[in-house]
Amino acid sequence: MERLERFVAGEGNYVDDIYVEKPLYMAVLRSPYGRAKINSIKGGMNFHDIDKVLMSVGEGASEGRKAIMHPVFAKSTVNYVGQPVAAVFAEDPYEAEDMLETVEVDYEPLDAVVDPEAAIKAKPIHEGMKSNVLSDRYIGKKFNIDADIVLEDRLENHRIATNAIEPRGILVNYVSGNLVIYASTQSVFSMKNGICGTLGLDGDKVRVIQADTGGGFGLKGGVQPEYPIAAYAALHYKRSVKWIETRSEHLMAANQGRGAIGKMKLYANKDGRMLGIEGEIVVDAGAYAGGMAEFGPGFIAMQLTGQYGIENGYVHAISVLTNKVPYGPYRGAGRPEAAFFMERMVDMLADKIGMDDARIRLLNSTRTQFKSPLGLEIDASKPFMEKAIKKLGYSKSGNKNAGLSLFVLVPGAAPGESARIAVQDGAVHVWLGSNPHGQGHEFFVKNLLSKEFGIPKSKITLEVTDTEKIKSGIGTWGSRSAMVGGAAAVTVARAIKEEVAKRNGRYSPKALLAGDYDHFEFYKYNGSINAFGANLAFAHVESIGRVRVDEVRAFYDVGNALDMGMVKGQISGGIVQGVGQVAGEEVIYDSNGQLLTSSISAAGLVRAAAIPKMRIAVDQNPSSLPHKARGLGEAPTIGTPAAVVRSIEKASGRRIRETPITEDALL
Amino acid sequence: MFPKKFDYYSPKTISEAIGLIDELKDAKVLAGGQSLLPMMKLRLATPAALIDLSNINGELGSIVQDKSSVEIGAMARIAELAKSKAVQKSLPALYDASLVIADTQVRNMGTIGGNLANADPNNDMPVVALALNAKMEVRNKNGKRLESADGFFVGPYTTKIAENELLTKIIFPVEHGRFGSAYSRIERRIGDYALAAAATSIKLESSGKVTDARIAVAGISMNAIRLEAVEKALIGAKPDQKTTNEITLKTVKDIDVEDSYYATASTKRMAVAYAVQKSLDKVYERAKAKK
């Protein structure tokens, strides 16, 4: 059965569904403190067994400094609530939970550092550091210009828990000295390299197979402590080991996203032309380096000018360590933050000079290709934006609370992606280096290859990504799969077609299916194909200061749409996330670093009743890739929050500076 | 999400259940389990034993109406209240609440007695019991007594039910004539805990003047409370929305409310005032419609 049929029939094979005989169940003892000294640990598996730090992989990987990298097990200190301190193993999950009580840890609580802005000047949380500042860069060039208007504001996207419906999970099978790992993951390669790199294992001994994965959202693209712990335990006990994260664990110990502050300064003329931006981006890195934190603030800063032709830019990009679970990539991973910060300033300028939201945006869009002072390269944005504003029905809507947002999606397509196609017994088997976790990769694969090969879709199967079956690859994040995964699939298909022609004198579908072919290629890509997008939102405020989003419209340039059903599915899902971010999603810690939002309900997830009406349309300006596609996945998460917030701003008459919008901001 | 080991008892009669409560150490009574079981899964509650009341349903789950009251067994499921003609007709506030508590799955399992005995500060049933002037039948091995809703809720998660006792029945007086009651809750998202909740009941004389009023709220205190100042202001008046709202806001202003991570004190006060208003609007409609 194909994935979609399996899922709809309730026959998904998620990691917790995979049966092996008598696995050991792992439970993790986690820090109850935001920050504490560990005087002693007795019992369970702990740092005495694994005294290592996580190797960082995934988007925005950084060359770590050992002292501030995430330890597999906490050693001398704990730095966030939920940090793994020890692990225990038992024959069933209930017993494993009981066994946690056999571990004795002597903690000495220390003052936690929670507020990222205060953390910049606070006493360092890690010994040997001069401050909590983890990365500190200036992007662009200082400028001195005469501007009629200078506007300043402080904007913030609060932290969010990733909260995929399926939490994290791993099953490590011990097979005569080797490990066969099933994981809920966005990348079998990240998982393999992360585990092997962290534990110093030989790659030949480890095979990683993707289990059906119920949502990833960035979190499942990298390695976290529980995976090497489970792998180590399987080797140690010579038994299979299973760990399935509970929702409570997820909320405290899985990387969180957003958590960025933008202190913006916009220079403009009173005719509405924007001349320059200065700013300071502060990202709350959480307790350790090695994830996305070093690269996050610079990535946000780089994108700030968005679709606008702003000639001057100078931004201070900082990430700062705090006593929270480390920051990680989450649905857009810096892109939504950049769009939010910029669009809020454009709206502020529009209000200041009394100019229409759409007019001021078009006035500042670009007529030619443009390289921004902060390093963003875009095509001429004006033609698309004019079309988008019309298509969205901005002026026709007659709704004076219409919130508009324009943005550019910068995909994470580098360094490219791999594909392998094997033809045997009259069927075509495809493996991609980037595996689906809800995006429906099989749809674009079947559409592209049935066209390319001239064969029915039923002859084509997208196989499960497995490090034994495809030798290298990257993974699924950053709106990259349809772009570079698709390009890889097409490139491999063309190589096979040439091979068919070589063997048979010319290519024919019949000759293809009658033969045996097996070809792998890594499609290298380091270009900068962006995609423009625009959203329009209609929202209102109920009398008690609650935000209700009535309708969200989207118009995005997706290049060649490889599968319209999946395109619309991706967009709808992303819109719901954007609504959630504005209407209530948030992770909250108190001043001791205690997590207050400890249930999925408290974390503010949107429920079905709050899903707005949607109107989705796409533009298809072909890209320069062999199959003409562009990135899409993150687009709705970038455009939706800024549009919804603008609508609420108009409806309430209050300036909105933060997501989520609280009742307090509106009452 | 894996509870600690516990012993499980399934008594068939009320007296058997009371016997078990009396004899077992560190036992918890299991009604619908919608609060207790999650707490146990999180190991925030670790009772040594559970005494499951679901097999006493016949005796504990009934809804019986006579002229002056509706008697509801403590094990009546919220979903059953929502289906009961007696509740819909005679106890509109309870009917309102039984439609909006949490979600369908919770309402199918959750019970009125469990909700009241748990006495969660923001829960739905305590305010309803207060507004409808309910009496709780509490039993122990020596017999039974009635506790009035007004004195029943002692503090957060604390009631007049002692360690060795069981809540068996809730008796709601039935009012005749121009009477109305209603329940409103303010929630951020459907199915969430209430940010604020209000249950109200009023009696009108033929002129339209209020002769009696009970207004109970949750969300600004450690247990459900009555806003007596608002009740007093209503009696003898033909209240209009604006005046009532002013009085309510003034009354909640005097209540000491704590900021929480999910809402500041001022938001909570506003939400309570808004819930009272929404509830009263419904009540007037209902009372005026009666001859």
The strand pair at A169-175 and A178-183 is best described as antiparallel
pLDDT at A64 over 60: no
* Pair of tokens at residue B275: 């819930």
pLDDT at A545: 87
Least confident of A166-170, B111-115, B279-283: B279-283
Instruction: Report the C-alpha gap between A438 and A453 in whole angstroms.
Output: 26
Question: Does the beta carbon of B255 lie under 8 angstroms from any beta carbon of chain A?
Answer: no
For residue A396, report the phi and psi dihedrals to the nearest 5 degrees: -75, -25
Crossing angle of helices B265-288 and B241-253, in 10° steps, is: 140
Q: Testing the interface with B: which of A663, A664, A666 to mutate, by most B Cβ within 10 A?
A: A663
In Å, how far is A318's CA from the nearest CA of chain B?
Answer: 27
Q: Is the pLDDT of residue B241 over 90?
A: no
pLDDT reported for residue A61 = 45
Assess B105–A contact: CB distance below 8 Å, yes or no: no
User: CB pairs under 8 A, 24+ apart, for A386-393?
Assistant: A386/A362, A387/A555, A387/A619, A388/A532, A388/A533, A388/A534, A388/A555, A388/A619, A389/A358, A389/A361, A389/A362, A389/A534, A391/A555, A391/A617, A391/A619, A392/A534, A392/A535, A392/A536, A392/A553, A392/A555, A393/A536, A393/A553
Kindly determine whether residue A601 and residue B261, on different chains, have CB atoms separated by under 8 Å: no
Q: How many Å from the N-terminal Cα to the C-terminal Cα in chain B?
A: 54
Report d(CA B262, CA A157) in Å as an integer: 17
Tens digit of each residue's pLDDT (9 = 90 or more) over A499-511: 999 999 999 999 9
pLDDT of residue A62: 43
Across B141-195, where does the E strand assignment appear?
143-148, 153-155, 158-159, 166-173, 179-186
CA dihedral sign, ordered A77, A81, A83, A84: positive
Which residue on chain B is closest to A603 by alpha carbon? B262
Length of chain A: 667
pLDDT at B27: 97
The secondary element (H helix, E strand) that includes residue A422 is: strand A416-424
Preceding omega of A415 cis (within 30 degrees of 0): yes
pLDDT, tens digit, for every residue of A292-343? 888 999 999 999 999 999 999 999 999 999 999 999 999 999 999 999 999 9
Chain A residues lying within 8 Å of B188, measured CB to CB: 546, 584, 604
Contact A664 B266 (CB under 8 A): yes
Are A240 and A173 contacting, i.e. CB atoms less than 8 angstroms apart? yes
Q: Across the interface, do B261 and A596 touch by the CB < 8 Å criterion? A: yes
Q: What is the pLDDT of residues B199-235, one digit of tens each?
A: 999 999 988 899 999 999 999 999 999 999 999 999 9
Task: Say which of A596, A606, A667 has its CB closest to residue B267.
Answer: A667
Q: How far apart are CA A154 and CA A345, in angstroms?
A: 10
CA distance B271 to chain A (A): 6
* Dihedral sign, Cα of residue A65, residue A71, residue A75, residue A81: positive
Please give the share of chain A, as a percent, with pLDDT higher than 90. Answer: 93
Least confident of A54-63, A217-226, B202-211: A54-63
Cα A623 from Cα A484, distance rounded (Å): 12
DSSP alpha helix (H) spans, A402-456: 441-453
Contact between A305 and A277 (Cβ < 8 Å): yes
pLDDT bucket at A543, cuts 50 / 70 / 90:
confident
Whether residue A38 is predicted with pLDDT greater than 60 in this model: the reply is: yes
Whether chain A has a CB inside 8 Å of the CB on B262: the answer is yes
Percent of chain B whose predicted confidence (pLDDT) is above 90? 85
Facing residues of A155 across strands?
A262
> What is the widest separation between alpha-carbon atoms in chain A?
77
What are the tens digits of pLDDT across the range B134-177? 999 999 999 999 999 999 999 999 999 999 999 999 999 999 89
Q: What is the mean pLDDT of residues A354-374?
A: 98
pLDDT above 80 (res A539): yes
Residue B57: predicted pLDDT: 64
- Identify all chain A residues contacting B266, using CB atoms and an 8 Å cutoff: 664, 667
pTM recorded for the entire structure: 0.95
Q: Tokens standing for A25?
A: 């169940």
CA B140 to chain A, closest CA, distance in angstroms equals 34
The chain A residue lying nearest B186, using CA atoms, is A544
The C-alpha atoms of residue A429 and residue A496 are separated, in whole angstroms, by 13
Predicted local distance difference test score (pLDDT) of residue A443 = 96
Query: What pLDDT does residue A4 have?
Result: 81
For chain A, say whether B48 makes contact (Cβ under 8 Å). Answer: no
Angle (deg, nearest 10), helices A382-391 and A357-364: 160
Report pLDDT for A56. 60
Q: Is the dihedral of CA B155, B157, B162, B167 positive or negative?
A: positive
pLDDT (average), residues B102-109: 94
Distance in angstroms (rounded) separating the CA atoms of residues A608 and A599 = 18
**Are A664 and B263 inside 8 Å of each other by CB?**
yes
Q: Cα distance from A91 to chain B (closest Cα, Å)?
A: 14
Separation between Cα atoms, residue A303 and residue A532, nearest integer Å: 13
| Residue pair A287/A83 in contact by the 8 Å Cβ criterion | yes
Contact indicator for B69, B78 with CB cutoff of 8 Å: no
- pLDDT, mean over chain B: 94
Mean pLDDT of chain A: 96
Whole-angstrom distance, CA of residue A424 vs CA of residue A403:
53
Q: Tens digit of pLDDT for each residue in B12-64?
A: 999 999 999 999 999 999 999 999 999 999 999 999 999 999 999 677 999 99
pLDDT band (50, 70, 90) for residue A537: very high
Euclidean distance between CA atoms A224 and A286, whole angstroms: 14
What phi and psi values does residue A432 have, to the nearest 5 degrees?
-115, 150
A-chain residues within 8 Å CB-CB of B264? 664
- B203: CB partners within 8 A, 6+ apart: B175, B177, B178, B179, B210, B211, B212, B213, B287
| Contact between chains at B42 and A96 (C-beta distance less than 8 A) | no
Could you tell me which chain B residue has the CA closest to the CA of A245?
A: B1
Question: Is the CB of A584 less than 8 angstroms away from the CB of B42?
Answer: no
Q: What is the mean pLDDT of residues A254-264?
A: 97
